[in-house]
Chain A
Amino acid sequence: MNQDPALVSIMRQGPYLIASIHTALDDSQMVRFQHDLVDKIGRHRSRGVIIDVAALDVLDSFGSKTLRNIAEMARLRGAQTVVVGIQPDVALAMVLLGMGTVQVETALDLEEGLAYLDDAVAPRAAVDARDGRP
């Protein structure tokens, strides 16, 4: 994402990637975000991904589908995904719309998301430590 100001930011935090969406994205920007994120998972060998969608004005069928796609692709690349920051209004509209993100793990905010990933990923980290891997 070379645009200025950045629409999204993807930061590395230990074994996790934290992706924050800063503004409403249109469909093609959403697809680009998906690409960038899945690409980075491989490059940083990330174990977990947190997607912060607090700034999204809506999560419509396309947005929800993209999040599910990201989660599935990340899973196939060996990373666990948590979506955090879905606003209450957005959640209600999603339910009315019939959009589920049932297959995607969610958490209230960044803190909860990190806690979830620590639980989900930690056993593997412990295994790594035992086997002497970083």
Chain B
Amino acid sequence: MTWARRTFPDVSVTEPSGADAVPPGHPEVSALIPIVRRVVGSRVTDRTVADDLVQETLVRVLAAEGRVEAGMLESYAIATARNVVASMWRLQDRARRNQHRVVDLRPPPTPDEDLLAREEQTAVVRAMARLSQRERELLLAHEVSGRDTRTLADESGSSAGAVAAQLNRTRARLRVEYLLAVEGAEPPTDRCRPVLLALSSGDRRRQREVDADRHVVECELCARLSNPLLERGQPRDDVVRIPIRTDADIVAARRAAREMAARQGFSSTDLTVVATAVSEIARNIVRFANAGVLVIELLERPHAGVRMVAMDNGPGIPDVERALADGYSTYDGLGLGLPGARRLMDEFAVASEAGRGTTVTMTKWRRGGRP
């Protein structure tokens, strides 16, 4: 309750109110002090606040003393006291109603904010520098100067669609270059840029051409950079990727495969069959490779089915033919990992390269869907 004190900085709040507020020579006003106290006291419980309000009432009464008819001073004082209390309530009420406006929801600035902003700016500048002159001009004309694709197309003598497509390609490149600049890394192989570009543009045909999934499993940098690129793309519900590293991921993988196959209308037997095969294949990744991924894709052509591609960066299988033959195993198992999974699936292919890893592609068609 500091507002009242602020209004009367000359009035001491520590001393009992009333008597000292009235200068000598105003006996009528001094006589009103008890009644003003009573009026205020009956409405305000806080002693300090009440004292402040009594003071304010007396100041007002003093100022009006000359104007008020004799004998009416008491009623005037009572009315003033009521008004003073009422206006305090109004003020409090308004303060309460508007309190939310003064709350600053922005997080307080952190010391490294500035530095991070500068780093980001540098990264954008470096990424822009990697674009060609033409790409840069087109992007700036559209994004910064706000010129639409049709105007730009007229100037360059092409169509609005072509300009839009080029803008999309340029943005995709800018994203890749920006991420590389933030990482401060140069891609370790020639394949990285095309793969990242394909991921950034969300072009699935191109991703297949450059074998993006495979590369992301093998290349640590691209694995890291692909996350933000994949996240921003349209969430596709006909493809899921499950990273495989630990035992628990095997359970997650077979659960995901079961769910995807269920969406294709597989029978409960086939759901278990698919989950079992995934379990076998995912286990090989955990056993033999550091990391891998299972990509589950729904197929509609030539009929409903589900394709699962398991990729890892492990040592590879030296002799795929032998590994597919019953009874061959390199670990303490039953030697039935691959051949068993093959028996469960309709289509089954293993590609392996020593030192690079293994890709197992398996497909199960919905029964009854086959011609």
Contact = CB atoms under 8 A, between A and B. Distances in A.
A96 B339 CA distance: 10
A112 interface: no
Chain B interface size, under 10 / 10 to 19 / 20 to 34 / 35 or more: 20 to 34
Interface in B259-284: 268-269, 271-273, 275-277, 279-280, 283
Contacts of A27: 247, 250, 283, 286
Contacts of A97: 276-277, 280, 336, 340-341, 343-344
Contacts, number: 84
B251 A24 contact: yes
Interface in B197-248: 246-248
Contacts of A98: 326, 334, 336, 339-340, 343
17 contacts: A24-B254, A25-B251, A26-B247, A26-B250, A27-B250, A57-B254, A58-B275, A60-B279, A61-B280, A61-B336, A62-B279, A92-B272, A92-B273, A93-B272, A96-B273, A96-B340, A98-B326
B258 A60 contact: no
B289 to A, nearest CB: 15
A39 B337 CA distance: 29
Contacts of B246: 26
B254 to A, nearest CB: 6
Contact of B283 (A57, A62, A89): A62
Contact of B269 (A57, A60, A92): A92
Contacts of B142: none
B299 to A, nearest CB: 21
Give chain A's interface secondary structure class. helix
A59 B279 CA distance: 9
Interface in A30-47: none
A27 B333 CA distance: 13
Interface of A: 24-29, 57-62, 64-65, 87-90, 92-94, 96-99
Contacts of B280: 60-61, 97
Interface in B166-200: none
A28 B254 contact: no
Contact of B255 (A24, A29, A93): A24
B344 A96 contact: yes
A66 to B, nearest CB: 11
Interface hub of A64, A92, A97 (most chain B Cβ within 10 A): A97
B271 A61 contact: no
B276 A93 contact: yes
Given A90-B276, A97-B280, 14 more contacts: A24-B251, A24-B255, A26-B247, A27-B250, A29-B247, A57-B258, A65-B334, A89-B273, A92-B272, A93-B276, A96-B343, A97-B336, A97-B344, A98-B339
Interface hub of B272, B280, B341 (most chain A Cβ within 10 A): B272
B340 A26 contact: no
A61 B273 contact: no
B344 A57 contact: no
Contacts of A93: 269, 272-273, 275-276, 344
Contacts of A89: 268-269, 271-273
A27 B246 CA distance: 9
B333 A60 contact: no
Given A60-B279, A98-B326, A98-B343, A28 B272 contact: no
A9 B334 CA distance: 28
Contacts of A62: 279, 283, 333
Given A26-B248, A92-B272, A61 B255 contact: no
A28 to B, nearest CB: 5
Contacts of B336: 61, 97-99
B241 to A, nearest CB: 19
A102 B279 CA distance: 21
A14 B334 CA distance: 35
Contacts of A99: 334, 336, 340
Contacts of B276: 58-60, 90, 93-94, 96-97
Contacts of B258: 57
Contacts of B275: 57-58, 93
B329 to A, nearest CB: 9
